Chain A
């Protein structure tokens, strides 16, 4: 069958193969941080006792003198980073998203965003796919927490390669930013050649011929499931376009409006509470620019629990079949 991946983006041609390469998104951050550290001596790293699991270990081993071990103290993690940024450093500080920004939100607001200092807050193990650790460790609110803060950018890459590129891009901006990462291995969707730009959204999947009937906007690790759903829908005769919205803030208003002008209906997909998340952000954009029916895939105002990532994604209605069902529902709602 003809592949409907956007040919201009040089995406991974093996994406739908059963043996597609899978890499944790957080690993791309670790690689990107090492490269950013090599490129700029002002890049420093701080960690709250999770150096290996947030993949800061590569940087720590190469640049021990530019790494600060904070201990289990997430409030200190970001306030110390703010002070280092005041002296000209570009600090990346990592922990699990549940603790940073989960625990230290006001510190981030007051000392980083209010001062407009270029601290990069890296929240790993975000989303329900953390799995067996259970609800305490599944950050489902972090996009909402961070996007609401002025000056703060919010990035949520879909695979390890994109995470690496976004990390490199963040090291070059003078703004505060939040980088959301997932723990589990995720299929590689992009390639080294795929363009990535903060503030820009790209269409990854499109119909071979004709217009798309429904748009799907996904962010983070669920992007892969959105693409698989789109492929299966195509086989059923439902044409979709799938957008990768890794830059939640700043958000690419023009690209989103252009997508829905074609599809007049939309499904958003994210591993986050539906309230206040990426879908809500898109809804704000469309309510003001081009209102269309939207179905929101995400967690519906409840906490997670222990289980395998796949079990949890399915249980909370974020799997491939839920996405397909949501697309059909949008189709039926279209005027």
Chain B
């Protein structure tokens, strides 16, 4: 779908708002993941405000695209984006991880039916998306909508991921588009030290997928990647998105220790307050903070 310069500016502002909400909700919650959500904020913004066929006022709309979040631990970005897209009040984000909340520490569909699946345990999302795409093909609905699956790079370690990748390749599921958050970090360190994934693109290609590599913070390039994925007819497509973990907050960028961080430590509070300040001033580009 055509993306104008004006729309890109809107998306940049929206992504910044969403990043602020992520930091605010993590501060309030006192625990949760930081780097992944910040790194994926641009992609979530692009999808919810430009790409996805969805309706926040009618979440169970039958013809909506399906977006499966496989790595459920980055749910702060999902919740924040959905709130900004109008699924629920932004105020509700403060209930993250608290008793009785709809915003469970890892997403649970019974609590928040607007999401397509519960997730958290890694490596399970793609296979569910494969099942959705297969069901749509059986029903002749594979031309009506797309099934998207967002995955982390760390969960490429999981065997179940590759079982799903193999089945999608076998069945040439052109209505299935996966997106890998290639931010190179996982809990214990950098992915290439923990369990080397490279050559990642070659691996997916060998499983009969169409592969696109793209920078994850360039709205135009991302939009073009999705358009290409939608146009590929004979194969499912994976977009390997090279993302900067912690993107938007200088202190957090590219460092795996921010994957998940103890927010109860005193210095952590300070770090997060500084992060908020940086986001609110657009990295010092504007003087006053817009609260």
Which residues of chain A have a CB within 8 Å of any CB of chain B? 44, 65-66, 68, 70-71, 73, 75-76, 79-89, 91, 106-107, 110-111, 114-116
Of B37-45, B129-137, B187-195, the segment with at least 4 beta carbons within 8 Å of chain A is B129-137
Stretch of B157-165, B204-212, B222-230, B266-274 on the interface side:
B157-165
Known: A86-B117, A110-B118, A115-B117. A79 touches B110 (CB 8 A): no
Residues in A with CB closer than 8 Å to B118 are: 110-111, 114-115
The interface residues of chain B lying within 8 Å CB-to-CB of A44 are 135, 138
Pick out which of these stretches binds chain A: B119-127, B249-257, B275-283. B119-127
Among B119, B128, B159, the residue within 8 A (CB) of A83 is B128
Cβ of B217 to closest chain A Cβ, rounded Å: 30
Collect the chain A residues with CB atoms within 8 Å of residue B159's CB.
Answer: 75
- 8 A-B pairs, CB-CB below 8 angstroms? A76-B160, A79-B124, A80-B128, A81-B131, A83-B130, A83-B134, A115-B117, A116-B110
Assuming the contacts A71-B167, A111-B117, asked whether A76 and B127 have C-beta atoms less than 8 A apart, the reply is: yes
Beta-carbon contact of A73 and B163 below 8 Å: yes
- Majority SS of interface residues in chain B? helix
Give per-residue flags for B127-155: 1 if the beta carbon is below 8 A from chain A beta carbons, else 0: 11111111110110000000000000000
Asked whether, in the complex, the Cβ of A82 is within 8 Å of the Cβ of B128, the reply is yes
Known interface pairs A84-B131, A87-B139; 11 further A-B residue pairs with C-beta atoms within 8 A, sorted by A's residue number:
A44-B138, A70-B167, A76-B163, A76-B164, A79-B128, A83-B135, A86-B135, A91-B131, A111-B124, A114-B118, A115-B117
Docked-complex contact B166 and A66, CB < 8 angstroms: no
Of residues 79 to 138 in B, which have CB atoms within 8 Å of A's CB atoms? 108-110, 116-121, 124, 127-136, 138
Q: How far is the CA of A87 from the CA of B127 in the complex (A)?
A: 14
Are B163's CB and A84's CB within 8 A? no
CB contacts between A and B, total, < 8 Å: 95
Chain A neighbourhood of B129, CB < 8 A: 83
Q: Which residues of B contact A81 (CB under 8 A)?
A: 131
Q: State which of A71, A87, A110, A116 has its C-beta within 8 Å of the C-beta of B124.
A: A110
A62 to B160 alpha-carbon distance, docked (Å):
30
Known: A44-B138, A68-B134, A86-B116. A111 touches B167 (CB 8 A): no
Q: CB distance A80 to B116 under 8 Å?
A: no
Q: What residues on B are CB-neighbors of A84 within 8 Å?
A: 131-132, 134-135
